[in-house]
A and B are shown apart, each in its own frame.
Chain A
Amino acid sequence: GQQLNQSPQSMFIQEGEDVSMNCTSSSIFNTWLWYKQDPGEGPVLLIALYKAGELTSNGRLTAQFGITRKDSFLNISASIPSDVGIYFCAGQPPLLTSGTYKYIFGTGTRLKVLA
């Protein structure tokens, strides 16, 4: 199935470090969502982005809607052990392109934090 390119695929970091990950596509999107998923659970919405260039924060998390509308970025500052999990981006293509209000998810970034 169709998935967005997300990088890095996985990362090990020390507690207290900052984390950056991104999601890229060859197509444009109208909305970007960022999720965190813990093992055996459903994804939890972290941040929603609606306009190109938009920068939105949620606590230690900051996400940006790329100016080209083809990418998005998520930063986590001062990581803590509970940040461990899999982070997914999800982009919603224009209705005229997809014909439906679906979201296309990224391949995921697996984050491990070393105390």
Chain B
Amino acid sequence: EAGVAQSPRYKIIEKRQSVAFWCNPISGHATLYWYQQILGQGPKLLIQFQNNGVVDDSQLPKDRFSAERLKGVDSTLKIQPAKLEDSAVYLCASSPQGRYYEQYFGPGTRLTVT
């Protein structure tokens, strides 16, 4: 079974630029999560999708971050404009419907904002 795929793996941008990350969850997994992990900290949940609907985006900084999951499969997370403090690893995870305790993480995208 293929795991969660993410791209790109690394990205370096200047502040005020925009960036987008892509995630393809494990086939059949209804729930998709985006996390932000700053160096030396635990992952922070940004947004959770159930199929193509948002379950909760209360921790997503909506003034600059946006996310979508069209057709209930792939998802993109966008930052516009980026700030220095957005430098982090952005992790995507997925789980089967109703089994939130079985989150499988992708390899992450390491973002550096200069």
A binds B: no
